[in-house]
Amino acid sequence: MAVQERASAAAAVQPPVTERITVLAWLKHNLFSTWYNSLLTILVGYLLYLVLVPVFRWAVLDATVSGDSKEACDFAGACWTLVKVRFGQYVYGLYPEDQRWRVNLALAIAAVAMVPLFLERFRHRLTYAVGLVLVYPLVGYTLFYGGWLGLPVVETPRWGGLFLTLVIAGVGITASFPLGILLALGRRSEMPVIRSLCVAFIELVRGVPLVTILFMASVMLPLFLPAGVNFDKLMRALVGVALFSAAYMAEVVRGGLQAIPKGQYEAAMALGLGYWQMTGLIVLPQALRLVIPGIVNTFIGLFKDTSLVTIIGLFDLLGMAKLIVTDPRWLGLAAESYIFAAFGFWIFCYAMSRYSQHVERRLSAGERR
Amino acid sequence: MTGASGEPIIIMRDVHKWFGEFHVLKGINLEVGKSQKVVVCGPSGSGKSTMIRCINRLEEHQRGEIIVDGIELTSDVKNVEAIRREVGMVFQSFNLFPHLTVLENLILAPMWVRRTPRKEAEELAMSLLERVKIPEQAHKYPGQLSGGQQQRVAIARALCMKPKIMLFDEPTSALDPEMVKEVLDVMIELANEGMTMVVVTHEMGFAKSVADFVVFMDDGEIVEVAPPSVFFTSPKSDRTKLFLSQILQH
């Protein structure tokens, strides 16, 4: 009798209780749940109102975009006319206007070439990526610099703006990633010479500001080179940025390597895998997945650190923003210029951040519980 | 000790090992013949795991000789890799590769170490998964399997390299009791097919049914070696008797 009752009670399975969440209910629960929360909500709301409304009014409502010169702006709001008129310089720097199509073409080629890397079903992505990294610099160099195929030369001091930022960041990221991995592996090596060299490099490079590295690369390097041999200024900046970032990347990767349980190494060794097979197939895939936040952090930092090339006379996005403001025809519009530059940086950094979250989500599927 | 199977496939002569100051292996002498099953037991800290890990160079011995399948185990990388190809190992904590599916776990070593083509490796892997009775799990990730299933995958993974010797380091110690049987069944089948096995375990039932001889280790030394029929009924050493009385309580 009792068993049957229990059975029928179990059979009457009830659906979970769902509450219908209305806006008012949400507000009450999250913002006005207790008296002090309510007070805080009102206070914060007031502060937001004090700050955001004037900013919005200045940046959007009262702003001017039309016209060709400063005269067109009415100074109640932001003068985005500056940005509109000088947009080309923000993006291309001092690159000659009639040659800008080359930059566009090169960046379009890069964008299209990167598409296969995002296709999940494409099996040979790693080989393709390596190939791309080896081939694209030639394409980029030809189009950006010119000098053959009938393209006129555009010297590197004329490269600037967002285009220069992308070049430096792109080269920096692409070079520092494998270099950082090698340094991290070297630092954990059991061979004393390799380990000491890697440690020395990492500690030395991390210990000095990027500015000094760029400065030394640009000012001191020519002193050491024989007369007549002159490295291109941009090249020096690229090397400096890549080495600097590699040292940081090495430590991030090393953190990931340390987190891999010893059992993984042992299982790989017991199966007969050699060092590079074990590292490439077992250890790095797991270690890199673990430290994606740290890696992306380093990339984003690098992207913004490219602004330091102003110290050696190159004008990246921020440098151009500063340069444009010095034009007497646009005096007094520093705020607009810098805000636009900041916005430019933010777009790219946020895109990197979102992409990394997507990668993390995709890679955790099926991972250890 | 060499038994009826002729030339021993594992020879350990006067093997010593220290971890820093701690003398963990104190003169180990052991010979295992082809197709023999050896069970190694003893209290924790006795050096049993260290001893079998020396066989495939996961630990380095400081003195003495170890010869596996005719190849001497030295710091020469070529020797070590040759030996590791012929010696499979199953770990207490499974150590499956969590970022690969079960099938990928299995085909990795044959493809990269023995250069087997992918298709052949996959066929071998599937046949081994059927042998350990979990072919339907081939495309799952290790994290989605139970402990017993994971250990069976680990056994299949080691077998994919077609080793001559299989080492087991407490393969069932991390499993729930219900899953111990399914793993032991696989090991018994493997034993009956003629694989040379060295098993560190506390599962005395397994030792009684399958072992050719049982090795009792205590405090870094081999105290007693005997076939199970003798070992469990009339052990010679007092230390063995003490150990047996403790583990055979229940």
pLDDT in tens, A31-63: 788 888 889 999 999 999 999 998 888 888 888
Distance from the B182 Cα atom to the nearest Cα atom in chain A, whole angstroms: 22
* Contact between chains at A366 and B88 (C-beta distance less than 8 A): no
Give the residue-averaged pLDDT of B46-61: 93
Which residue from B minimizes the CA distance to A264? B95
Q: pTM of the full predicted structure?
A: 0.85
Show the CA angle centred on residue A125, arms to residues A123 and A131, nearest 5°.
Answer: 135
Which residues partner with B84 through β-bridges?
none
What was the pLDDT predicted at B132? 93
Residue A79: pLDDT band with limits 50, 70, 90: confident
Measured distance CA(B77)–CA(A104) in Å, rounded: 52
pLDDT for residue A93 is more than 80: yes
Residue A333: pLDDT band with limits 50, 70, 90: confident
Q: Are B119 and B128 in contact (CB under 8 A)?
A: no
pLDDT for residue A269 is more than 60: yes
DSSP string, A222-271: HHHSPTT----HHHHHHHHHHHHHHHHHHHHHHHHHHHS-HHHHHHHHHT
pLDDT for residue A279 is more than 90: yes
* Chain A CB contacts of B87 below 8 Å: 270
pLDDT for residue A18 is more than 50: yes
Q: Which of A190, A269, A271 to mutate to test the interface with B (most CBs of B within 10 A)?
A: A271
Residue B6: pLDDT band with limits 50, 70, 90: low
Residue A228: pLDDT band with limits 50, 70, 90: low
Give the residue-averaged pLDDT of B55-69: 93
What was the pLDDT predicted at A285? 92
pLDDT for residue A6 is more than 90: no
**pLDDT above 90: percentage of residues in chain A:** 39
What was the pLDDT predicted at A58? 85
What was the pLDDT predicted at B2? 42
What was the pLDDT predicted at A369? 42
Q: Which of B95, B157, B168 to mutate to test the interface with A (most CBs of A within 10 A)?
A: B95
Q: Which of B80, B83, B92, B112 to mutate to test the interface with A (most CBs of A within 10 A)?
A: B112
What was the pLDDT predicted at B149? 95
Residue B111 contacts A, CB cutoff 8 Å: no
- The type of residue at A199 is V
Measured distance CA(A77)–CA(A72) in Å, rounded: 12
Which residue among A270, A274, A368 places its CB closest to the CB of B98? A368
What was the pLDDT predicted at B145? 94
What was the pLDDT predicted at A192? 95
- The per-residue pLDDT of chain B, averaged, comes to 92
- CA Rg value for chain A: 27
- The per-residue pLDDT of chain A, averaged, comes to 86
* B167 contacts: CB under 8 Å, gap ≥ 6: B52, B55, B56, B87, B88, B89, B90, B197, B198, B199
pLDDT for residue B250 is more than 70: no
SS3 A280: helix
Residue B7 or A4, more confident: B7
For residue A22, give the DSSP letter: -
- C-alpha B6, offset from chain centre: 21
Query: A318-327: long-range contacts (C-beta < 8 A, 24 or more apart)?
Result: A318/A345, A319/A160, A320/A89, A320/A90, A320/A93, A320/A160, A320/A161, A321/A90, A323/A89, A324/A82, A324/A86, A324/A89, A324/A90
- The type of residue at B123 is E
Residue A119: pLDDT band with limits 50, 70, 90: confident
Residue B109 contacts A, CB cutoff 8 Å: yes
Residue A349: pLDDT band with limits 50, 70, 90: very high
Give the residue-averaged pLDDT of B149-169: 95
Residue B3: pLDDT band with limits 50, 70, 90: very low
Give the residue-averaged pLDDT of A231-236: 81
What was the pLDDT predicted at A11? 63
What was the pLDDT predicted at A251? 96
Residue A147: pLDDT band with limits 50, 70, 90: confident
pLDDT for residue A246 is more than 90: yes
Residue A259 contacts B, CB cutoff 8 Å: no
pLDDT for residue A366 is more than 80: no
Give the residue-averaged pLDDT of B159-169: 95
pLDDT in tens, B65-78: 999 999 999 988 89
Give the residue-averaged pLDDT of B137-148: 93
Which residues partner with B215 through β-bridges?
B40, B225
Neighbours of A143 (CB within 10 A): 20
**pLDDT above 70: percentage of residues in chain A:** 94
Please give the order of strands across the beta sheet that includes B37-41.
Answer: B87-90, B165-169, B196-200, B37-41, B213-218, B221-226
pLDDT for residue A257 is more than 60: yes
What was the pLDDT predicted at A313? 85
Q: From A232, A244, A234, A246, select the one nearest A314 (Cα to Cα).
A: A234
Residue A228 or B191, more confident: B191
| A310: alpha, beta or left? (left if phi > 0; alpha if psi -120 to 50) | alpha
DSSP string, A177-209: HHHHHHHHHHHT-S-HHHHHHHHHHHHHHHHS-
Which residues partner with B39 through β-bridges?
B199, B214
Residue A19 contacts B, CB cutoff 8 Å: no
* Chain B CB contacts of A261 below 8 Å: 95
Give the residue-averaged pLDDT of B210-224: 93
Out of A123-137, A222-236, A297-311, the most confident range is A297-311
Which residue from B minimizes the CA distance to A280? B112
What was the pLDDT predicted at A235? 84
pLDDT in tens, B108-138: 999 999 999 999 999 999 999 999 999 999 9
Q: What domains, with CATH codes, occur in chain A?
A: 18-61 (no CATH), 81-95+154-368 (1.10.3720.10)
pLDDT for residue B1 is more than 50: no
Count interface pairs A-B at CB distance under 8 A: 73
Residue A207 or B247, more confident: A207
